[in-house]
Amino acid sequence: MKIGFIGLGIMGKPMAKNLVKAGHELRVFDRTKAQAEDVAAMSNGKAVVAANAVDAAKGAELVLTMLPNSPHVKSVMLIDDKVAEHMEKGATFIDMSSINPIASREISEGLSKYGIEMLDAPVSGGEPKAIDGTLSFMVGGKKAVFDKFEPVLKAMGSSVVLCGDIGAGNVTKLCNQIVVAVNIAAVSEALMLGKKAGVDPEAIYKAIRGGLAGSTVMDAKAPMIMDRNFKPGFKIDLHIKDLLNVQDAARAVDSPIPLTVQVAEMMKILHADGQGQSDHSALALVYEKMANTEITRG
């Protein structure tokens, strides 16, 4: 399939590479040209560097975006670059960014004027799963469109679930981000208690990971915390963005989110301390600051 891919950051670049490996032909664009050139270099001619976002959509049956937030997607598709105006007749747009579900619906409505179908398909799994092609996709849109493009998404993910109409994918992603954020905070809080009480955090992790407290989040983030490795798989600033979108969505439907609000404030502290580009496992640093103790093995 001929695909235009716009946005080749931490997540987008390995996702594009997996599409190439699956045999798709790509025109790729990122404002950092080196990112697109890296995809093209491994593609054996299957990926071409596009001059701009509009050029990426040239001749494409499917256009994909992986961008930071709602304004970026709107800008590319409808406002500034106006990619929608230049897409092939009958082409489809899938936004894999994590954005406000209200924005997804607005973008879909704007695209309908050009006869373009849309899916919102945010992902979970971070950089490691983007690299190995085992992301989880949460999808919103028409079932017929989903059925047609599900194989494309499965080239990048091991789980692809249709959650409902347009916007449902991003509602589900916001729910995911609540669970991830609160889980990281809980893991940090627990390991700090153990450290302060004289019990090795690694022993605590090994002891509880096989029980009810165990989780994918704990397995991914507890070792990073204990190793003081906060190289970003998913940045604090991006998680703040997601939790602000959670708050907007929750206000719209009058849903209580006291834990989300608290963890979002902790992340804002990290941003103010210059940790906004660190991995969200850096939530542990808030506890370390309060306790004046590092969560390390031993």
d(CA 91, CA 128): 30
- Write out the catalytic residue numbers: 173
pLDDT in tens, 4-15: 999 999 999 999
Task: Check whether 155 has a pLDDT greater than 90.
Answer: yes
Partnered with residue 162 across adjacent β-strands are 139
Task: Check whether 81 has a pLDDT greater than 90.
Answer: yes
Across residues 221-249, what is the average pLDDT?
95
Cα dihedral value 196, 217, 251, 103, nearest 10: 140
Among residues 176, 174, 144, which one has the least CA distance to residue 162? 144
pLDDT in tens, 22-79: 999 999 999 999 999 999 999 999 999 999 999 999 999 999 999 999 999 999 999 9
What pTM was computed for the model?
A: 0.91
pLDDT in tens, 100-139: 999 999 999 999 999 999 999 999 998 999 999 999 999 9
pLDDT, residue 185, reads 98
pLDDT, residue 233, reads 86
Q: 3-state SS of 99-149?
A: CCHHHHHHHHHHHHCCCCEEEECCEECHHHHHHHCCEEEEEECCHHHHHHH
